[in-house]
Amino acid sequence: MKSNRNSHNNSKVSPSNLSTNMHFAPRGDAFKYPVQHFDVAKVRTVSDCLEAFGSTSFQSRLLGRCYRIWLRMLTDPARPTIFFGLSGAMIPGGMRRIIRDLIAFHAIDVLVSTGANLSHDLYESLGGRHYMAHHHIDDPTLRNMFIDRVFDTYADDVKFTETDEFVERFADTLEPRSYSSRELFQVMGEQVKDEYGILSTAARERLPMFCPALADSSIGMALTVYRNERMKKGLPAMIYDPMLDNLEIMSLKRRWAKSGVIFIGGGTPKNYIQQVIPLAEIAGTPVPPHSYAIQVTTDDAKFGGLSGCELPESQSWGKLDPRAEQCTVHLDATIGLPLLVTGIMEHYDEWKSRGRLSIDWGEALQTPPARRARKDSA
């Protein structure tokens, strides 16, 4: 009787029984790096903690790796441009000062954010606050009281209305022409007097800030009201032109070719930063893929959503270098981000000389070289 190769038997399997296409490293290689049990007695700083995490397991090891990659981005002699994607309710979540400090200390170079985060930042700059909620008030009652809820946090809807009115008045002062979101927020931030605001700090530091889904936010709704009022009066209006955003962010990548990316959550900011590589390619001015990438997310890749997709997936699209240092940690960003930022700031003396980018937008947006034909893949 012919033996069944899949049947269970007591014969030992040796490398000679297996496919010649399989290669076995010495067994000892698997035991080269033992897990190091976390020793509280050896931890004095947050960076000590993150370094120790790097020798544990699971998400703590991945958080430690994200920390080391971010630090390498900052200390790389080639000074890669660091693109920072911000999604999720980070301002209601208490992360506003952290984002502001990343801008002020030049730990990031370009910010791509959801409109909601920028709306909540502006709301705070104009006097609004977020409050810890108590769940004995139901949501219909909150609506009647003009109180907005974000999980366990409240915001004042009356103050949001005042913030919308500020945006409408601001838009009325603008020359009626096309604006990128980067230029729009630069001008807006210059009019906001807040030492600790994201918009105001980005304007002072002249850090490029893009909001590719601006319409999907309170600021976007206020700009819609402004536009509608101008139309009713037969007056020309300022226009947000998202294609200008594309041209501007592509020009940044062309000017400073080496880059790294940091994604807090995912969504539109993540894809917008990633797509600059294929965008430049189809525009006929190819740029190198990103050299570093870290992501803090709670989403799962197996559901097919962008926010959970694994970073190596972007290598198939040409967005991330196959040799890139990259890591994803599945963790609530309101826990992971403060730890990561505190860790890198403890090493500020090692990278403070990187300074900020100096950008002449008139020069940056000059017509690039003639378009080259795009190679067709086999």
| CATH number for the domain harbouring residue 188 | 3.40.910.10
Low-confidence ranges of the chain (pLDDT < 70): 1-26, 306, 364, 366-378
Q: Which pLDDT score is estimated for 309?
A: 82
**Does 210 fall in a domain?**
yes
**Does 116 fall in a domain?**
yes
Q: Which pLDDT score is estimated for 361?
A: 85
> What total of structural domains would you count in the chain?
1
Which residue shows structure tokens 């997936």?
A: 313
Q: What angle is formed at CA 214 by the lines to CA 208 and CA 220, rounded to 5 degrees?
A: 125
DSSP 8-state symbol, 111: E
| Tens digit of each residue's pLDDT (9 = 90 or more) over 162-186 | 999 999 999 999 999 999 999 999 9
| Tens digit of each residue's pLDDT (9 = 90 or more) over 10-65 | 444 344 443 445 565 667 788 889 999 999 999 999 999 999 999 999 999 999 99
Q: Which pLDDT score is estimated for 377?
A: 32
**Does 88 fall in a domain?**
yes
Q: Which residues pair with 376 in a beta bridge?
A: none
**Does 201 fall in a domain?**
yes
**Does 151 fall in a domain?**
yes
Q: Which pLDDT score is estimated for 173?
A: 97
Q: Which pLDDT score is estimated for 295?
A: 97
Q: What angle do helix axes 333-345 and 96-104 make, rounded to 10 degrees?
A: 30
Distance, in Å, from the CA atom of 31 to the CA atom of 265, rounded to the nearest integer, reads 34
Report, as residue numbers or ranges, the catalytic residues.
319
Structural domain span for residue 212: 40-352
Q: Which pLDDT score is estimated for 358?
A: 87
Name the 3-class secondary structure at 31. helix
Q: Which pLDDT score is estimated for 23?
A: 61
Q: Model-level pTM greater than 0.85?
A: yes
**Does 30 fall in a domain?**
no
Q: Which pLDDT score is estimated for 366?
A: 66
Please report, as a single letter, which amino acid is at residue 189.
G
**Does 345 fall in a domain?**
yes
**Does 370 fall in a domain?**
no
Q: Which pLDDT score is estimated for 4?
A: 43
